[in-house]
């Protein structure tokens, strides 16, 4: 056997989305890219704001030694200061630049943090449905991901009583995306505060910190008056992880950050550990040019109304289809049920035969649903959703 057991497991588990992705590419070759309605992967379709491009050109034109050289492993000071300002603006909370680490996207930040808190056999809680990669982020760090069930009838909002049943002596952290990928559901500040209090109670009981990790790359993509929320107001044992992949459309440029609660008891031990993990995991430092650019345009975002327009197209189509769904208030996903008597894999395959691509709920630990991503061009969404409506009605009887 040439591959490790872990690599074999990864191959088996990730084959669903990967297969869909490659099949989508093949379909586009055969039928033409405008005739395949791919609403699967969360790759933002909007161009970054014009200020980003202007700043990028100006930063790249600087002619000085080390313009493309290594930078400190925790990130350049201007970038960390600008993230500190962003957190202040967004959440009215002070996190000094020294408590911030610039990272290779949110995914890099999660991996760096897990390397610093996990011992083999630890458990990481998350809420169902969850971002598919958490399973692997947990596993490669030596932890086990423990998904906590939620109910569609309860708008996928986790119940405190259920959460408390899942906490035990092995629990090390709770990790969740807010707004949620794949449902678009937003967890309120009061809910986060209740979770923080529960974790603090159990940290005392088990005589070790249980960390609250907010995975926040969609915090600025909220609609209908939904509010940004922060783990920092919920417990001092908290970290907020984010990136500019989604709100500035920089997913391929790999720039994000990890911010640590300033009153955290072990803060002085964390900073050097996180900095070293960033380096030895092979990221070394977050992309230097992007750190420079972000420092100057962190307060800009893509036009969020553009995503809101797309959200409404998808919501209206889903209403016409009759498919039950929870109205998304953030991110750019929605998670409707599949027709009765059918699995999500069967429905995804039928849609695929009709050149519409969506991700089965099983990829997010929650079968019986499909994830539709609306970060796509209007032609894809309008035509793709028309086919979805017809197909749903046909198979729901």
| Residue 372 in contact with ligand PLP, rule: CB under 6 A | no
| Residue 328 in contact with ligand PLP, rule: CB under 6 A | no
Q: Which residue is nearest to ligand PLP (CB)?
A: 105
Least distance in Å: CB of 333 to ligand PLP?
Answer: 8
Least distance in Å: CB of 205 to ligand PLP?
Answer: 29
Single out the residue of 169, 185, 189 nearest to residue 177, CA to CA.
Answer: 185
Helix ranges (H only) for the chain are 5-31, 50-60, 77-91, 105-117, 134-141, 160-166, 189-206, 267-280, 288-297, 304-321, 344-353, 378-396
Nearer Cβ to ligand PLP (113/355): 113
| Residue 251 in contact with ligand PLP, rule: CB under 6 A | yes
Binding mask 154-183 for ligand PLP (x = CB under 6 A): -----------------------x---x--
Q: What is the DSSP letter of 173?
A: E
Binding mask 205-224 for ligand PLP (x = CB under 6 A): ----------x-x-------
Spatial separation of the C-alpha atoms in residues 279 and 273, rounded to whole Å: 10
280: its two tokens: 């030895």
318 and 358 Cβ atoms separated by less than 8 Å: no
Q: Residues 101, 106, 222, 326: which binds ligand PLP (CB under 6 A)?
A: 106
236: its two tokens: 């001092």
Least distance in Å: CB of 105 to ligand PLP?
Answer: 3
| Residue 291 in contact with ligand PLP, rule: CB under 6 A | no
Nearer Cβ to ligand PLP (339/371): 371
Spatial separation of the C-alpha atoms in residues 67 and 45, rounded to whole Å: 30
- How far is residue 199 from each of residues 196, 236, 262, measured CA to CA in Å? 5, 10, 18
Nearer Cβ to ligand PLP (105/158): 105
Least distance in Å: CB of 1 to ligand PLP?
Answer: 31
| Residue 24 in contact with ligand PLP, rule: CB under 6 A | no
Least distance in Å: CB of 243 to ligand PLP?
Answer: 3
Contacts of 344 (CB under 8 A, 6+ apart): 338, 360, 361, 362, 367, 368, 369, 370
Stretch that binds ligand PLP, among 45-53, 101-109, 266-274, 370-378 (CB under 6 A): 101-109
Least distance in Å: CB of 131 to ligand PLP?
Answer: 4
Stretch that binds ligand PLP, among 77-85, 102-110, 283-291, 371-379 (CB under 6 A): 102-110
Contacts of 385 (CB under 8 A, 6+ apart): 313, 314, 317, 318, 372
| Residue 42 in contact with ligand PLP, rule: CB under 6 A | yes
Spatial separation of the C-alpha atoms in residues 174 and 128, rounded to whole Å: 12
391 and 383 Cβ atoms separated by less than 8 Å: no
Least distance in Å: CB of 245 to ligand PLP?
Answer: 3
Q: Residues 203, 245, 295, 301: which binds ligand PLP (CB under 6 A)?
A: 245
Spatial separation of the C-alpha atoms in residues 5 and 11, rounded to whole Å: 10
Spatial separation of the C-alpha atoms in residues 234 and 200, rounded to whole Å: 9
Least distance in Å: CB of 186 to ligand PLP?
Answer: 13
321 and 2 Cβ atoms separated by less than 8 Å: no
Least distance in Å: CB of 112 to ligand PLP?
Answer: 11
Residues lying near ligand PLP in the complex (CB under 6 A):
42, 105-107, 131, 177, 181, 215, 217, 243, 245, 251, 256
């Amino acid at each position: 056997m040439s591959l490790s057991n872990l690599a074999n497991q990864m191959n088996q588990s990730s084959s669903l989305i990967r297969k869909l992705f490659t099949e989508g590419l093949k379909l586009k070759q055969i039928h033409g890219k405008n005739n395949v309605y791919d609403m699967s992967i969360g790759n933002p379709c909007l161009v970054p704001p014009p200020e980003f491009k202007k700043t990028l050109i100006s930063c790249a034109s600087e002619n000085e030694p080390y313009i493309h050289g290594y930078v400190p492993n925790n990130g350049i000071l201007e970038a960390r200061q600008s993230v500190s300002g962003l957190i202040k603006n967004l959440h009215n909370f002070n996190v000094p630049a020294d408590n911030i680490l610039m990272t290779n996207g949110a995914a890099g930040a999660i991996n760096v943090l897990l390397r610093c808190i996990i011992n083999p056999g630890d458990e990481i809680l998350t809420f169902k449905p969850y971002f598919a990669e958490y399973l692997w982020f947990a596993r490669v760090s030596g932890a086990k991901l423990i998904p906590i069930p939620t109910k569609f009838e309860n708008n996928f909002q986790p119940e405190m009583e259920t959460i408390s049943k899942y906490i035990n002596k092995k629990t090390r952290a709770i990790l969740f995306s807010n707004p949620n990928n794949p449902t678009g559901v937003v967890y309120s500040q009061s809910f986060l505060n209740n979770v923080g209090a529960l974790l603090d109670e159990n940290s005392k009981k088990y005589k070790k910190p249980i960390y609250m990790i907010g995975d926040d790359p969609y915090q600025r993509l909220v609609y209908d008056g939904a509010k940004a929320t922060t783990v920092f107001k919920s417990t001092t044992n908290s970290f907020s992880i984010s990136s500019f992949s989604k709100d500035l459309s920089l997913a391929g440029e790999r720039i994000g950050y990890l911010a640590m609660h300033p009153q955290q008891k072990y803060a002085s031990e964390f900073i050097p550990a996180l900095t070293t993990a960033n380096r030895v995991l092979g990221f070394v430092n977050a992309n230097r040019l992007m750190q420079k650019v972000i420092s100057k345009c962190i307060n800009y975002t893509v036009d969020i109304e553009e995503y809101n327009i797309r959200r409404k197209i998808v919501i209206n189509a889903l209403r016409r289809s009759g498919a039950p769904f929870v109205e998304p208030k953030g991110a750019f996903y929605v998670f409707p049920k599949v027709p009765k008597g059918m699995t999500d894999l069967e429905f995804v395959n039928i849609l695929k035969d009709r050149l519409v691509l969506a991700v089965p709920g099983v990829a997010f630990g929650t079968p019986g649903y499909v994830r539709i991503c609306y970060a796509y061009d209007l032609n894809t969404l309008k035509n793709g959703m028309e086919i979805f409506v017809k197909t749903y009605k046909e198979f729901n009887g």
